[in-house]
C-alpha cells in the first residue's frame, strides 16, 4: 500500500510521522489557527479600548498587554485535558497506536503553543511601539524573563516554556482522569498540575525576595532557569507517556 | 490483501476481579466471514477490543496476522472495530466523521463510502448525536465497510437498524466482501438473519470457547427429532449411548421434540423414519440457544413447551426480539 | 422472497443442492446449461458464497455438475439420468411407503389407491425417463 508505513529506522519506535498522524496534526492546527485568528484581534481591540479609556481618564503607567498572557495559558491547560480525553480514545479506535497519538498530539501541542507565543510577542512589540509614540512607560508589573516590550528573545522563551508547561499539565490531568477515573484523578490532580506551577515559579523568580524584571543578574542563573523549566516540561511529558502508553481504551457502552 | 488471520492461545482478560475472557483458544481463518456468538456478558466485546489493540491480555496471547496487535502500528491500522456506541468525535456531523476516518484508514475507499451514504440515506450535514439510532448504526456500518480493513470487526452494529436497512447492510457487506475478500467478524447475540453470511462460527460462553468450527459443519451436526414421546425418548436414549449430545427437549401434548448435537448415519436415519420420527435441522440460532442454555445444571428435565420457545417463533423474521440477558 | 424460500428444515447448502437436482430432473436445467455462480447465489439469497460452493462440491461429487475453469458450473450430460436413478431407488421407501402409512392411518383402502393409479395411467401414461446405461444388467 503506497500510503502505508514508511521504512522503519532502527529497532526502536520510529519517530517519523505517518500520513495519519500528519492528518491529525493538520486537523488540530486548522482549528487552533481559527481560534487564534479570532481571539487575538478581539483581544487587541479590547486592550486598545482599555488603554484609550485609561489614557482619557488618568494616565498609563504600565503595560496592558501583559495581562492578556493569562488567557492562552489557561486555554492551553483546558485544551490539553480535552485533547487527551477526546482525541486519544477516538484515534486509537481508528487504528493509531498510542505512541503515534502521543507524537501527533505532541507536535500539535508544540505548534499550538508557538502560535500563542507568537501572538503574545507581536502584541508586546506593538504595545511598546504604540506606547513609545505617546511617551508612556510599558513597565511590567510582575516578574518576567524579559525586561521590556522589545526584549524579544527572552520573551519568546518565557511564553513558550510557560505555555508548554500548562499544556503538558492539562494533558497529564486528562490522561490521569481517563486512566484512573474520577476519584483517583482528582486526588492526583495537584501532582499532575505540577509542571505548570513549577515553570511559572521558575520563570517568575519566586526564589528571590523582590520582583525581578528582566534576566537575573547572575550570568548562569538565566540558562539554569531555562534548563530547569525545559527539564520540568520534558519530565511531565515523560510521565504523560507512561500513563498513556498502555492505557486500555474504554468502550462507551 | 486478503485478510488477517486470528489466533488466540490461552487468552485471558480480566477487569479487576471479573474474568471476561477465560483461557480462550481458537483460530479464525483469514479471508472469511466469521460469526462471533455469545450471550450478553460472554466476553465477545472484550475479545474484539483485544484484537483491535484497545486492551492488552492479562494472560496468554492473541495474534493477528501473526503478530500481537497491541501497539503494533501495522496490525492496528489494518484492524477496524466498529461498536454500536460509535467511537466518533463528539459534536461532528456525518460528513466530518467520514472525512476523519478517510484520513486515518489506509484502505479507505471514498467512492464506496459515498455509495453507502446514498444507500442508507444519511444526512451528511447532521450531527451524529442528533441522528436516530438506526441512522447511527448505519454510520457505523459505513465506517466499518468503507475502511476495507483486512480485519473488519462489527460489534452488534446492525441492532439499531430497521429491517430494510439491515437487508441493505447485508447486501452491501456480501457484495463488497466478494469483490474485496477480507476477514470479517460479525459479533452478535441475535443471529437469525445474519447467520447465513457466516462461513465460520465462534461461540463464547462465560469467557470460554464453546464452539469454533465451520458454520455448515456445525449446522450439519444439529438435528431435531420430532415424534411420539415414547419413540423419541427411546431413540434419543440409544443416541446418547453412542455419544450424541442432547441439547434440549420440548413437549407439546403427546409429541416431543429433542434437539441433538451430532450426526446420524444413513441407517440411523432410516431407523428414525421407521419409528415415525421426523428429522429436521436446527438453525444456528437454536443451536446457540441450546448450547448456551445447556451449560446450566437445571437442563435435561423434560419441559412443558414454553410459548417463546415454540419452534415456529424461531423462523419468524423478528430480529428485534431480544433474548433475555443473563 | 426475502429469505429466498429457504426455511430452517435443512442446512441451506442441502436445500440449494436439492433445488438444482429438482431443476435438472424437471428439465428446467438442461444438459450443459450453466448454473448460477456461487457469487450470484450469495448475492441473490444473502448467503455466504462458501455455502453455495459446498452445494456445488457435493453435486460435482455426485456427477450432477462439472466445472469449467474460469467460466463456471455446468450441468453434466448424464445428470438427469443419474438423479432419476437415485430417486427411483428411493421412490418406494421415500414416497410410496409413507403414502401407505398415511392411508392406513386414515383408513383408506389400498384398493382405492390402486384404482386411482390405474385411472391416471389410462389417462396419462408415465413417460419413460432416460436412465444411465446399466452395464450390470437389470434395473432394480
Check which CATH number belongs to the domain holding C30 and give it: 1.10.10.10
Contact assignment for C46 to B170 by CB distance below 8 Å: yes
Chains A and B touch (3+ CB pairs under 8 A): yes
Residue C125 to chain B, least CA–CA distance (Å)? 31
Concatenated DSSP letters for B182-204? -EEEEEES--TTGGGG-SEEEEE
Touching chains, A (3+ CB pairs < 8 A)? B
Residues 53-112 of chain A with CB under 8 A from chain B are 86-87, 89-100
Q: How far is C118 from B242, CA to CA, in rounded Å?
A: 46
Say what the pLDDT of residue B105 is. Answer: 93
Contact assignment for C45 to B280 by CB distance below 8 Å: no
Contact assignment for B197 to C47 by CB distance below 8 Å: yes
pLDDT digits (tens, 9 = 90+) for B251-302: 888 889 888 888 887 788 878 877 888 888 888 888 888 878 755 543 343 4
Determine whether C5 is exposed, middle or buried from the number of CB atoms within 10 Å of its CB (0-12, 13-18, 19+): exposed
Contact present, A96 and A20 (Cβ < 8 Å): yes
Chain B residue numbers touching C40 (CB-CB < 8 A):
none
Domain ranges, residue C97: 90-123
Q: Which of B163, B187, B215 is the last residue of a domain?
A: B215
**Considering only alpha carbons, which residue of chain B is nearest residue A98?**
B71
The band of A251, judged by pLDDT with boundaries at 50, 70 and 90, is: confident
Output DSSP code: residue A83.
I
Domain co-membership, B50 together with B192: yes
Terminal alpha carbon distance of chain C? 40
Domain co-membership, C69 together with C105: no
Q: Is C45 on the interface with B (CB under 8 A)?
A: yes
Q: How far is B226 from B258, CA to CA, in rounded Å?
A: 7
Average pLDDT over residues A109-118: 94
Q: Is position A126 within any domain?
A: yes
pLDDT digits (tens, 9 = 90+) for A167-202: 999 999 999 999 988 788 788 888 877 877 787 777
Q: Least CB-CB distance to A98: which of B71, B86, B90?
A: B71
Chain B residue numbers touching C6 (CB-CB < 8 A):
196
Domain ranges, residue A161: 20-244
Whether residue C4 has pLDDT greater than 70: no
Q: Is C51 on the interface with B (CB under 8 A)?
A: yes
Domain co-membership, B191 together with B46: yes
Q: Is position C133 within any domain?
A: no
Whether residue C98 has pLDDT greater than 60: yes
Contact assignment for C11 to B196 by CB distance below 8 Å: no
pTM of the model: 0.83
**Considering only alpha carbons, which residue of chain B is nearest residue A85?**
B89
Chain B residue numbers touching C54 (CB-CB < 8 A):
216
Q: Is position C25 within any domain?
A: yes
pLDDT digits (tens, 9 = 90+) for B308-319: 443 443 444 344
Domain ranges, residue B145: 6-215
Residues 60-99 of chain C with CB under 8 A from chain B are 93
pLDDT digits (tens, 9 = 90+) for B129-166: 899 989 999 999 999 999 999 999 999 888 888 989 99
Q: Is C48 on the interface with B (CB under 8 A)?
A: yes
Q: Is B16 on the interface with A (CB under 8 A)?
A: no
The total domain count for chain C is 2
Determine whether B209 is exposed, middle or buried from the number of CB atoms within 10 Å of its CB (0-12, 13-18, 19+): buried
Whether residue A217 has pLDDT greater than 70: no
Q: How far is A88 from A94, CA to CA, in rounded Å?
A: 10
Check which CATH number belongs to the domain holding B192 and give it: 3.40.50.300
Contact assignment for A95 to B78 by CB distance below 8 Å: yes
Does C85 or B69 have the greater pLDDT score?
A: B69
Chain B residue numbers touching C3 (CB-CB < 8 A):
317
Q: Is B189 on the interface with A (CB under 8 A)?
A: no
Average pLDDT over residues A59-80: 86
**Considering only alpha carbons, which residue of chain C is nearest residue B163?**
C2
Q: Is position C136 within any domain?
A: no
Say what the pLDDT of residue A8 is. Answer: 38
Terminal alpha carbon distance of chain B? 39
Q: Is position B321 within any domain?
A: no
B213 backbone dihedrals φ, ψ, rounded to 5°:
-160, 175
Touching chains, B (3+ CB pairs < 8 A)? A, C
Domain co-membership, B162 together with B37: yes
Domain co-membership, B16 together with B132: yes
A43 contacts: CB under 8 Å, gap ≥ 6: A68, A71, A123
Q: What percent of chain B has pLDDT over 70?
A: 89
Touching chains, C (3+ CB pairs < 8 A)? B
Domain co-membership, C16 together with C69: yes
Does B204 or B288 have the greater pLDDT score?
A: B204
The total domain count for chain B is 2
Amino acid at each position: 500500500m503506497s500510503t502505508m508505513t514508511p521504512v522503519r529506522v532502527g529497532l526502536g519506535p520510529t519517530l517519523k510521522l505517518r500520513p495519519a498522524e500528519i492528518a491529525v496534526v493538520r486537523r488540530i492546527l486548522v482549528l487552533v489557527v481559527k481560534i487564534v485568528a479570532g481571539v487575538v484581534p478581539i483581544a487587541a481591540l479590547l486592550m486598545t479600548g482599555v488603554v484609550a479609556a485609561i489614557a482619557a481618564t488618568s494616565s498609563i503607567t504600565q503595560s496592558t498587554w501583559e495581562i492578556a498572557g493569562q488567557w492562552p495559558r489557561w486555554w492551553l491547560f483546558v485544551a490539553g485535558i480535552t485533547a487527551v480525553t477526546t482525541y486519544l480514545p477516538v484515534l486509537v479506535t481508528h487504528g493509531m497506536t498510542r505512541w503515534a497519538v502521543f507524537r501527533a498530539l505532541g507536535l500539535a501541542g508544540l505548534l499550538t503553543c508557538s502560535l500563542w507565543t507568537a501572538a503574545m510577542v507581536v502584541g508586546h512589540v506593538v504595545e511598546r511601539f504604540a506606547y513609545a509614540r505617546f511617551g508612556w512607560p510599558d513597565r511590567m508589573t510582575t516578574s518576567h524573563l524579559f525586561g521590556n516590550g522589545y526584549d524579544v528573545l527572552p520573551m519568546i522563551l518565557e511564553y513558550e516554556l510557560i505555555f508548554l508547561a500548562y499544556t503538558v499539565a492539562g494533558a497529564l490531568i486528562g490522561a490521569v482522569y481517563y486512566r484512573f477515573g474520577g476519584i483517583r484523578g482528582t486526588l492526583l490532580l495537584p501532582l499532575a498540575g505540577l509542571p505548570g506551577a513549577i515553570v511559572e515559579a521558575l520563570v517568575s523568580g519566586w526564589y528571590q525576595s523582590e520582583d525581578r524584571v528582566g534576566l537575573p543578574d547572575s550570568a548562569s542563573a538565566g540558562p539554569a532557569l531555562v534548563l530547569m523549566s525545559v527539564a520540568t516540561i520534558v519530565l511531565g511529558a515523560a510521565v504523560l507517556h507512561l500513563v498513556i502508553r498502555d492505557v486500555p481504551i474504554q468502550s462507551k457502552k | 490483501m486478503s485478510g488477517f488471520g486470528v489466533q488466540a492461545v490461552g487468552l485471558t482478560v480480566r477487569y479487576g476481579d471479573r474474568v471476561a475472557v477465560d483461557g480462550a483458544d481458537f483460530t479464525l481463518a483469514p479471508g472469511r466471514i466469521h460469526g462471533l456468538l455469545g450471550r450478553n456478558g460472554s466476553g465477545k466485546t472484550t475479545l474484539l477490543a483485544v484484537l483491535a489493540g484497545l486492551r492488552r491480555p492479562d494472560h496468554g496471547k492473541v495474534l493477528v496476522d501473526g503478530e500481537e496487535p497491541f501497539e503494533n502500528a501495522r496490525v492496528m491500522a489494518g484492524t477496524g472495530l466498529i461498536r454500536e456506541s460509535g467511537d466518533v468525535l463528539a459534536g461532528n456531523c456525518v460528513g466530518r466523521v467520514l472525512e476523519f476516518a478517510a484520513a486515518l484508514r489506509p484502505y479507505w475507499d471514498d467512492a464506496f463510502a459515498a455509495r453507502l451514504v446514498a444507500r442508507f440515506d444519511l444526512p451528511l450535514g447532521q450531527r451524529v448525536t442528533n441522528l436516530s439510532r438506526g441512522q447511527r448504526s448505519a454510520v457505523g456500518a459505513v465506517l466499518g465497510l468503507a475502511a476495507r480493513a483486512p480485519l473488519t470487526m462489527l460489534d452488534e452494529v446492525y441492532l439499531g437498524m430497521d429491517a430494510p436497512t439491515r437487508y441493505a447492510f447485508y447486501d452491501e457487506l456480501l457484495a463488497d466482501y466478494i469483490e474485496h475478500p477480507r476477514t470479517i467478524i460479525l459479533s452478535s447475540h441475535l443471529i437469525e438473519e445474519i447467520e447465513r453470511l457466516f462461513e465460520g462460527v465462534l461461540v463464547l460462553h462465560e469467557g470460554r470457547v464453546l464452539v469454533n468450527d465451520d458454520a455448515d459443519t456445525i449446522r450439519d451436526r444439529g438435528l431435531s427429532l420430532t415424534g411420539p414421546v415414547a419413540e423419541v425418548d427411546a431413540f434419543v436414549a440409544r443416541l446418547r449411548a453412542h455419544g450424541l449430545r442432547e441439547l434440549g427437549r420440548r413437549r407439546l401434548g403427546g409429541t416431543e421434540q429433542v434437539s441433538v448435537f451430532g450426526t446420524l448415519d444413513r441407517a440411523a436415519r432410516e431407523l428414525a423414519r421407521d419409528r415415525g420420527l421426523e428429522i429436521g435441522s436446527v438453525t444456528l440460532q437454536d443451536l446457540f440457544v441450546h448450547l448456551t442454555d445447556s451449560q446450566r445444571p437445571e437442563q435435561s428435565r423434560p419441559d412443558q413447551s414454553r410459548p417463546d420457545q415454540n419452534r415456529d417463533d424461531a423462523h419468524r423474521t423478528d430480529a428485534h426480539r431480544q433474548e433475555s440477558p443473563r | 422472497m426475502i429469505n429466498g424460500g429457504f426455511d430452517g428444515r435443512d442446512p441451506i447448502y442441502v436445500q440449494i443442492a436439492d433445488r438444482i437436482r429438482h431443476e435438472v430432473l424437471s428439465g428446467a436445467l438442461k444438459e450443459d446449461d450453466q448454473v448460477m455462480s456461487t457469487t450470484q447465489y450469495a448475492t441473490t439469497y444473502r448467503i455466504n458464497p462458501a455455502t453455495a460452493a459446498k452445494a456445488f462440491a457435493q453435486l460435482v461429487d455426485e456427477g450432477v455438475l462439472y466445472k469449467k475453469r474460469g467460466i463456471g458450473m455446468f450441468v453434466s450430460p448424464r445428470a438427469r439420468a443419474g438423479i432419476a436413478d437415485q430417486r427411483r431407488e428411493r421412490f418406494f421407501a421415500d414416497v410410496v411407503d409413507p403414502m401407505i402409512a398415511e392411508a392406513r392411518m386414515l383408513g383408506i383402502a389400498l384398493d382405492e389407491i390402486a384404482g386411482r393409479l390405474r385411472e391416471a395411467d389410462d389417462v396419462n401414461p408415465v413417460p419413460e425417463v432416460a436412465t444411465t446405461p446399466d452395464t450390470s444388467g437389470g434395473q432394480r
